[in-house]
Amino acid sequence: MIRLSTTDASFAQDFAALVDARRESDADVTRDVSTILRSVREEGDAALKAFTLRLDGHDLDESGWQVPLADCAAAFDALDPDLREALELAASRIRAYHEKQRPADTAFTDDAGVRLGARWRAVDAAGVYVPGGRAAYPSTLLMNAIPAKVAGVERLVVVTPTPKGTINPLVLAAAHLAGADEVWRVGGAQAVAALAWGTDRIARVDVVTGPGNAWVAEAKRQVYGVVGIDMVAGPSEIVVVADGQNDPDWIAADLLSQAEHDVTTQSILFTDSPEFADAVVDAVERQLIDLPTGETARIAWEKSGAIVLVRDLAEAMPLVDRLAPEHVEIAVDDPQPLFDLLRHAGSAFLGRHTPEAIGDYVAGPNHVLPTGRRARFASGLGVTDFMKRTSFLQLDAESLAKLGPATVALAEAEGLPAHAQSVALRLR
Amino acid sequence: MIRLSTTDASFAQDFAALVDARRESDADVTRDVSTILRSVREEGDAALKAFTLRLDGHDLDESGWQVPLADCAAAFDALDPDLREALELAASRIRAYHEKQRPADTAFTDDAGVRLGARWRAVDAAGVYVPGGRAAYPSTLLMNAIPAKVAGVERLVVVTPTPKGTINPLVLAAAHLAGADEVWRVGGAQAVAALAWGTDRIARVDVVTGPGNAWVAEAKRQVYGVVGIDMVAGPSEIVVVADGQNDPDWIAADLLSQAEHDVTTQSILFTDSPEFADAVVDAVERQLIDLPTGETARIAWEKSGAIVLVRDLAEAMPLVDRLAPEHVEIAVDDPQPLFDLLRHAGSAFLGRHTPEAIGDYVAGPNHVLPTGRRARFASGLGVTDFMKRTSFLQLDAESLAKLGPATVALAEAEGLPAHAQSVALRLR
């Protein structure tokens, strides 16, 4: 963990180093992934079976390629009632939030008499990757699948590795709740390849979303263009902007909620109170002792954590913009003026009673968010990631007479005579 | 050119072959591009200078790295008045269409007392690639730059190669009209690298858009994630759905307007009239004789052109969906019922007086559209490609009391105790 202050002589340089710190894996998985993709593309199910046997340790012909939808329903019914209700609350709130994202079609006739507009349609099929093992989060399945269903996707395919054949019942329950149409027991780059190109068993989809390890992320990057993907995801981060009036334990827990995900995550506190900064550092240390995920969280905090002292909180906001973080908490009584100063962040959590974790589960906005400074240009997952827009135009003889001559002039200037001709013939 | 009929015994197979035909370059440029990217990332301007000398044949230190904005203004002023007016008409209509795409922010308080919503902001800087040589189209500069400016991008950077030092005055004029803030005389994968990572001279941008050759396309694919990009673009295509009541010459010109772009483009006619199909084939042959771009158009038409006879035009629409083409013309008196059947297309041109070329220049909708069946999942370039969304949440003690327990239950079920703790502490 490093401590900076905007009054340090070396601040500009130190902060630039923090912004540019690479936390992404340097492992060169590009070649491995492209070999796997090629195998699945060429050999289909045989390659899927072989990779699953080798990497996940089970034989798909014996364990079953698919989880029957009835098993998903049964897993849902078997949930502890509190947990089932929590998942249902999450699903209904996520659905309600995303329904407001559905884009409206447009159509109008302008003063040249041209009818024009745009029409949105869902993709036919979407694939959601759900990691196995440690990061098998039912909440992530909901966050990926519900926007697809709200978009109107008719075929929603879940792929998830089941290492040594073990299935996570929470994931199945979430698949049931989200309305998955197929659940396949495959994972890794090989599952992404199957979704992108299809195999005899698994029909190809149009969009692939969902988190995964470095192999999955690289596979998505390599199939981008064959299908749509959500985003190249990297390690998570949280920035907390807090005044001295917060409970240090609350803020420490928020910083650790990010740090516990993975040793590469980053938690940064901006505050105008040196005393509060000290109190948070102490609280982090205290909480780390009993935290079951403390080993991971400590490494992340010590390696990438930071505290930045600012003269006042407004000074923090352009610095936060440079980090363009996945999550920003603004823990003050009146957060709106500071939020108004912010340009680049995946999601913002405003006020003292909005811990980031509330957004991970039940609040409604998506928790699939741009990481690694990509909030400069990217948005969280949403309904339009599962839709596309068709623009349209309709002219008649009269409106073509108005726009035609300019088109002919431009087409000729660009050296495209057939373009010019297709208009000129209709002007005669 | 092939002719198919839905009544052929082999139609299903033949049409599948048409859908799956690969028209994209097989040249393996991946390695070359990654070498160029690495050079520019590591050596910056020195690498840019060296690649430009080698590939474009001029020394940037002598020819100048940038085109002064005053030169762009002068190029605009020097345009033939008709052409200048045509460009102005195009720019104003493109601007008007894209202004309607600007997304609205949302904010609401739900019945749990949670305030939530989403806010859109422009990216800080965007780079537009404009090809040199043959495909140096001022219209494409407008189509890329104007949506960025409508989005609110403050720094709009144009890069364009100037082979042997030659600058295309039309491109400069369009850069002036579109409000470009910088125009750099670099191109190829090296220009994309400079935009993505920045050099001493060229500050990095957040989004890179614009067409280019296979190297440029591959470079964009490789920097995707470092910056946002518009789309991996491939060869263009047009599908024309036409009844027998059209003038065969009009439809032939439309097919050739696509074919003249490049030998890899594809033009496909669906019609329910065999006589009309014959007449179009004859008209294409006649027009090819005098067409200045006929050599290219003939190769494209002979290699990838197709005519598909259908029993009735409604039968064509699901077939068009399988092609998910960049452009679809529906040349009938009442196009709306057929358009209602269509799901996958980049842009639609409705009625007999809407040649695709009108959309390339002055109509208003963007002409940067998904190619190679990507309209299954991708949209044309638009204002939101230069913007991103920040979701936000604000709870108070009361609303947190409502959503908190479910969050704690889910976080514990997912094995994320610090997540649970960050909420539980605030519930006490």
Give B110-154 pLDDT, tens digit per residue: 999 999 999 999 999 999 999 886 667 899 999 999 999 999 999
Query: Quick one: average pLDDT of B218-235?
Result: 88
* B213 known member of a binding site: yes
pLDDT of residue B231: 79
- What dihedral do alpha carbons A242, A246, A250, A252 form, nearest 10°? 50
> Secondary structure of chain B: what % helix, strand, coil (to 5)?
50, 15, 35
Contacts of A124 in chain B (CB under 8 A): 343, 376
- What dihedral do alpha carbons B176, B181, B187, B193 form, nearest 10°? -160
Q: Does the CA dihedral B229-B230-B231-B234 come out positive or negative?
A: negative
* Phi/psi of residue B380, nearest 5 degrees: -65, 165
User: Which SS3 state, helix, strand or coil, does residue B88 take?
Assistant: helix
Comparing CA positions, the residue from B31, B96, B364, B393 lying closest to residue A347 is B393
Set A182, A260, A326, A329: catalytic member: A326
Pick the CATH number of B2-24+234-363 from 3.40.50.1980, 3.90.600.10, 2.160.10.10, 2.60.420.10: 3.40.50.1980
Residue B224: which of A224, A250, A410 has the nearest Cβ?
Answer: A224
Which residue does chain B place closest to A341, by CA atoms? B121
All CATH 3.40.50.1980 domain ranges of chain B, comma separated, are 2-24+234-363, 30-103+122-229
Give A278-325 pLDDT, tens digit per residue: 999 999 999 999 999 999 999 999 999 999 999 999 999 999 999 999
pLDDT of residue A37: 96
Question: For chain B, how far is it from start to end, CA to CA, in angstroms?
Answer: 74
Lowest mean pLDDT, pick from A326-335, B224-233, B247-256, B317-326 = B224-233
Residue A409: which of B83, B389, B409 has the nearest Cβ?
Answer: B83
- The average confidence (pLDDT) of chain B is 95
User: Which SS3 state, helix, strand or coil, does residue A248 take?
Assistant: helix
Q: Give the number of other CB atoms < 10 A from CB of residue B275.
A: 10
Whether A379 and B388 lie within 8 Å, measured CB to CB: yes
Instruction: Give catalytic status of residue A295 as yes or no.
Output: no
Query: Quick one: average pLDDT of B64-77?
Result: 97
Contacts of B236 in chain A (CB under 8 A): none
Greatest alpha-carbon pair distance for chain B in Å reads: 84
Say which CATH topology domain A30-103+123-229 has: Rossmann fold (3.40.50)
Give B308-320 pLDDT, tens digit per residue: 999 999 999 999 9
Question: Distance, in angstroms, between A337 CA and closest chain B CA?
Answer: 14
Query: Quick one: average pLDDT of B172-176?
Result: 97
* B13 known member of a binding site: no
Q: Does the CA dihedral B82-B83-B84-B86 come out positive or negative?
A: positive
Set B237, B326, B329, B356: catalytic member: B326
Which residue does chain B place closest to A231, by CA atoms? B225
Task: Say which CATH superfamily domain B30-103+122-229 falls into.
Answer: Nitrogenase molybdenum iron protein domain (3.40.50.1980)
* A213 known member of a binding site: yes
pLDDT of residue A232: 74
Q: Higher model confidence: residue B26 or residue B197?
A: B197
Residue B259, token pair as written in the block: 């074919």
Residue A123: which of B364, B377, B384 has the nearest Cβ?
Answer: B377
Whether A118 and B101 lie within 8 Å, measured CB to CB: yes
Please answer whether residues A57 and A164 qualify as being in contact, where contact means their C-beta atoms are separated by less than 8 angstroms: yes
pLDDT of residue A27: 57
Whether B139 and A414 lie within 8 Å, measured CB to CB: yes
Whether A393 and B418 lie within 8 Å, measured CB to CB: no
Which helix H or strand E contains A276, and what residues bound it? helix A274-290
CA A56 to chain centre: 25
pLDDT of residue A298: 97
Whether B293 and A417 lie within 8 Å, measured CB to CB: yes
pLDDT of residue B233: 75
Whether B418 and A256 lie within 8 Å, measured CB to CB: yes
Contacts of A246 in chain B (CB under 8 A): none
Residue B379: which of A247, A389, A410 has the nearest Cβ?
Answer: A389
Q: Does the CA dihedral A75-A81-A82-A85 come out positive or negative?
A: positive
CA A82 to chain centre: 27
Whether A357 and B420 lie within 8 Å, measured CB to CB: yes
pLDDT of residue A132: 83
The residue length of chain A stands at: 428
Distance CA B105, CA B115 (A): 13
Residue A123: which of B134, B376, B420 has the nearest Cβ?
Answer: B376
Question: Distance, in angstroms, between A262 CA and closest chain B CA?
Answer: 11
* A258 known member of a binding site: yes
Question: Distance, in angstroms, between B304 CA and closest chain A CA?
Answer: 17
Q: Does the CA dihedral B178-B182-B185-B189 come out positive or negative?
A: negative
Please answer whether residues A152 and A119 qualify as being in contact, where contact means their C-beta atoms are separated by less than 8 angstroms: no
Question: Does B255 have pLDDT greater than 60?
Answer: yes
All CATH 3.40.50.1980 domain ranges of chain A, comma separated, are 2-24+234-363, 30-103+123-229
Which residue does chain B place closest to A88, by CA atoms? B406
Pairing of strands A115-122, A106-109: antiparallel
Task: Name every residue whose Cβ is closer than 8 Å to that of residue A125 and which is 6 or more positions away in sequence.
Answer: A153, A154, A155, A156, A157, A203, A204, A205, A206, A207
Distance CA B264, CA B278 (A): 23
Beta-ladder partners of A331: A242
pLDDT of residue B428: 87
Pairing of strands B106-109, B115-122: antiparallel
User: Which SS3 state, helix, strand or coil, does residue B5 take?
Assistant: strand
Whether B365 and A418 lie within 8 Å, measured CB to CB: no
For chain A, 428 residues long, give each residue's pLDDT as a single digit of tens: 999 999 999 999 999 999 988 766 555 788 899 999 999 999 999 999 999 999 999 999 999 999 999 999 999 999 999 999 999 999 999 999 999 999 999 999 999 999 999 999 999 999 999 988 666 789 999 999 999 999 999 999 999 999 999 988 999 999 999 999 999 999 999 999 999 999 999 999 999 999 888 899 899 988 999 999 997 777 889 999 999 999 999 999 999 999 999 899 999 999 999 999 999 999 999 999 999 999 999 999 999 999 999 999 999 999 999 999 999 999 999 999 999 999 999 999 999 999 999 999 999 999 999 999 999 999 999 999 999 999 999 999 999 999 999 999 999 999 999 999 999 999 98
pLDDT of residue B24: 62
Question: For chain A, how far is it from start to end, CA to CA, in angstroms?
Answer: 74
Q: Does the CA dihedral A152-A157-A160-A165 come out positive or negative?
A: positive
- Give all strands of the β-sheet with B228-229 in edge-to-edge order: B182-184, B155-159, B125-129, B207-209, B228-229
Number of H helices, E strands in chain A: 18, 14
pLDDT of residue A177: 97
Query: Quick one: average pLDDT of B88-103?
Result: 96
Which residue does chain B place closest to A362, by CA atoms? B407
Whether B393 and A365 lie within 8 Å, measured CB to CB: yes
Give A361-417 pLDDT, tens digit per residue: 999 999 999 999 999 999 999 999 999 999 999 999 999 999 999 999 999 999 999
Please answer whether residues B312 and B326 qualify as being in contact, where contact means their C-beta atoms are separated by less than 8 angstroms: no
Question: Does B25 have pLDDT greater than 60?
Answer: no
Distance CA B251, CA A132 (A): 54
Distance CA B58, CA B50 (A): 9
A interface test, pick of B101, B261, B362, B384 with most A CB neighbours within 10 Å: B362
User: Which SS3 state, helix, strand or coil, does residue B109 take?
Assistant: strand
A interface test, pick of B377, B398, B423 with most A CB neighbours within 10 Å: B377
Question: Residue B26's pLDDT band (boundaries 50, 70, 90)?
Answer: low
Share of chain B above pLDDT 70, in %: 98
Residue B221: which of A225, A354, A376 has the nearest Cβ?
Answer: A225
Give B281-306 pLDDT, tens digit per residue: 999 999 999 999 999 999 999 999 99
pLDDT of residue B23: 64
Q: Would you give the DSSP letter of residue A163?
A: G
Amino acid at residue number A157: V
DSSP B237-280: EEEEEE-TTS-HHHHHHHHHHHHTT-TT-EEEEEES-HHHHHHH
Whether A425 and B249 lie within 8 Å, measured CB to CB: yes
Instruction: Give catalytic status of residue B327 as yes or no.
Output: yes
pLDDT of residue B382: 97
Task: Name every residue whose Cβ is closer than 8 Å to that of residue B36 and which is 6 or more positions away in sequence.
Answer: B47, B51, B188, B189, B190, B193, B215, B219
User: Which SS3 state, helix, strand or coil, does residue B349 take?
Assistant: strand
Whether A415 and B293 lie within 8 Å, measured CB to CB: yes
Count of CB pairs separated by less than 8 Å, A with B: 362
Comparing CA positions, the residue from A398, A375, A400, A364 lying closest to residue A95 is A364
pLDDT of residue B214: 86
Whether B260 and A416 lie within 8 Å, measured CB to CB: yes
A interface test, pick of B84, B358, B367 with most A CB neighbours within 10 Å: B358
Task: Name every residue whose Cβ is closer than 8 Å to that of residue A70 and which is 6 or more positions away in sequence.
Answer: none
Residue B96, token pair as written in the block: 């008007």
Contacts of B287 in chain A (CB under 8 A): 418, 421
B interface test, pick of A258, A295, A354, A368 with most B CB neighbours within 10 Å: A354
* Angle between helical axes of B397-413 and A81-99 (0-180°, round to 10): 120
